Structure 1
Amino acid sequence: MKIKVIHGPNMNMLGIREVNIYGPMKLEDVNKNMEVVAKQNGFEIEFYQSNHEGDIVDAIQESITDKTDGIIINPAALTHYSIAIRDAIAALRNIPIPVVEVHMSNIAAREEFRQKSLISPVVAGTISGFGPFSYHLGLLSMMQILNEFKMAKEAQNNQQKQ
């Protein structure tokens, strides 16, 4: 099964920007750690980062045709105002491609304009406030969701055979 991780604006600056909030770990290190865990558990994982809203929408939509089973997304600053990203994620519900939203900082404890997520109402769940470990928790959550989907599909197939 394939998981796509989408990093939003400025995530490429991890380890450099606001280290007091996001810590010293670079995005490449976050990705490497996730890749190890995914492979240990039999999942394929791919990473995408963009500072451009439309490119992120394209990456979400491409998940339909590139056989992505689940998405982990940190929309970063776009979390708070991107109706386009919200709508792209909502469109995946009927397929279904589950989505888990992650944030390194606790957005509920930050500035007022960062406290509302337009994305949270259309995802399976949101993880926030654990620094780089938020991504790890998001990955564990996604693997659990996909394993449950797989078990449900197998059970349905077994019932149809009977």
Structure 2
Amino acid sequence: MNNLLFEFKVDKSTKTVVVEREFDAELSQVWDAFTKQEILDQWWAPKPFESKTKVMEFKVGGRRFYAMVSPEGHEMWQVQQYTSITPKTNFKFLSVFADKDENIHLPGSNWDLNFNEENNITKVSISIYNESLERMEKMIEMGFKEGFTMTLNELGNLLPTLKK
């Protein structure tokens, strides 16, 4: 596990955050973990928060509407609108904050996720582009790096427990 790649880079000049993470798992397992609601909800939140999906339509034009729920029950809603899907290799979505009634709060960020496998190690490369530098800086200030690192570690711990 210690030799698996994990990089987190912030490039203010391009308003982009790039995260690269390797997992000791087959591509299809990692892809499913990112694209199936029942698996996503097990890891897509830094502990002690939980992910609760209300709607998930993994298709171009579809969306995932979910909340990160604190231990006290406070819900922070988000919408991921899927804009492009190339099975097992790439998908893209617009991520925006929302209220519980799915009223979205722009601007959002554009996520571009690439998946590839070599020798049973799957590398996920995530590029997160923000139209607004101010939004990106706020995201970083709110602890995105720490939270997303914890979240990806949750996935790393979960993958060996999933049935192949």
TM-score, with length taken from structure 2: 0.28
Larger Rg: 1
More helix by percentage? 1
